[in-house]
Structure 1
Amino acid sequence: MIRDRASPPAEEGIVANMAIPPEAEALAAIRARDVAADGTFVYGVGTTGVCCRPSCPSRAARPERIRLFPDREAAIAAGFRPCRRCDARPVASEPALVRVLEHLRHHADRPVPLAELAALAGWSPAHLQRRFTRAFGCSPKRWQTAWRERRLREGLRDGGGIAAASAGAGYGSGSRLYEQAAERLGMTPGRYARGGAGETIAWAVTDTAVGHALVAATHRGVCFVALGDDPAGLEADLRAEFPAAALVAMPERNRSAFVAWMDAVTTAAAGRPAGAPALDVRGTPFQLRVWELLRTIPPGETWSYTRLATALGLPRGARAVATACAANRIALLIPCHRVVRGDGTLAGYRWGSRRKAALLAAEA
């Protein structure tokens, strides 16, 4: 529901404002506690009267109770008070890091060398890399890429055309945009602007040692693996995940590649090494870092969320790591089941705790 930005905090709904990301994108950033979204908006919770930054570790509110604002001051002016945990400020309120962020935004049309950013901050390149990664969960290069991607998505959704969206996001030329579109959007800019219409995803269901597995893939690789007891329910999950894509049964012309992908899934479900099949993975820069590290955990070994966060250079980021694990949509091939609580207990699993226990037992 749209509310006037000056309405009291007891009223609920999403505020429309051109300076902030689209509602769906903002809510996704809040759910993922995406540090790359810090500084692009803040949100207020109508039931508590508190405002937070996107990456705030506080428990996420229900979407209908959230209001979006372009900055902390706008939220305070509307009657919200800053959260005691995050103060509704970006992780990096330090002037040197703020200067670096502004420089990255203003020079989105080119890769900015780390040495150039370090000189701006007054630090060595290595020190800047450490401080930036600690504050934002990713390198300056990845942060700039994520920021450009967000600008591109906003421009395409606004309906101003691909050329205008490309220029606004700093791509400089249409050819550069199309060269990077598959990586940044998972599809061409035109398809993204039409809500993903035209993207083709092939899928099939197979039996594994832990129940049915639905395997779905684009021409780039596996994009979705779900586990369950009901094939119809798994298909419904796939359609909910990719509502605008054309979903087709495994085509005969791609049969050999698809069979290899399904074999990898059944092998992993049986607790044996499944190799490294091609994946078409889409997520925030922080999620991608977590998922890449998950693929390095060998079968038979478990890591705690704290260990995973520490390996990423974020020793206090266990909760954000757990959120990224929960957002994984490719079971087994991105083995989030190998992450447990610090005391060794299993914690949650998107496809069921019993299934997680069975997978770990098979790998032991």
Structure 2
Amino acid sequence: MTDITPQPLDEDAAWAAFDARDRNADGRFIVAVKTTGIYCRPSCAARRPRREHVRFLDSPQTARAEGFRGCLRCLPDTVTRDRQAVAAAIALIEAAEAPPSLEALAAQVDYAPHHFHRLFKRATGVTPAAYARARRTARAAQALAAEPSITAALYEAGYAAPSRFYADSDQRLGMAPGQWRRGGEGVNVVWTIVGSPMGSVLVAMTERGLARIAFEENEQALVRSLPAAAIGPADDATRDHIAEIVAATEVPDPLLPEPARRIAFIEAVSQALLGTD
């Protein structure tokens, strides 16, 4: 499975996360209690010991090597394994020509399907199917620009049938595939840039759906991707609506690979804007 190395935290930050039972800190470090000989995840529900009785270690392996044993209440050894399973499933989705089924993904990482579905969504904010859909949409946009025909593009992107491809294009590209190939010809696009915990996000929309969502882009990048479209800034109401949705979107697990976190966040924003799941 993909290796995910916990990021170091200073002891004051680690104590603050432990004291707050911050679930986002799970997997970043382990809390070892010297008086009990037990190590826990930061979010453990057990009563907090005094700070001088606590050590912060980088992993369960380090804690075990120093003679501590895992807490039977919070099961800290499962945190790293869960994150590795999600990262491995993401890698499988990225490598697949067509979206893999939940059952196939779960079998590859040795989890029960329904349990893994919940685990993946908790870590990324979206389901495995939604993450795969986001990757297929991105491939479709690339294929429409590179392939000699729309038919070739839809199969290159991993679609099994034209009907699904055309339906997705309406909502996920904001226009018909032919219009996308012609640089947004005949399409009106409105855009705005809003802030998020993961960086600035450009959101561009048409009457049909989403034309583009991307991190750290500007109007010039949008014009380059859709040179034939009529592009203008969103009105105040649309901008405020988009900003509200982006602000309310859950940030994916910070220990997952950054490209995967961005894809998952964009997909979660897309679902909220489109009213889908």
TM > 0.5:
no
TM-score calculated relative to the size of structure 1: 0.34
TM-score, length of structure 2 as denominator length: 0.42
Relative contact order (C-alpha < 8 Å, sep 6+): which is higher?
2
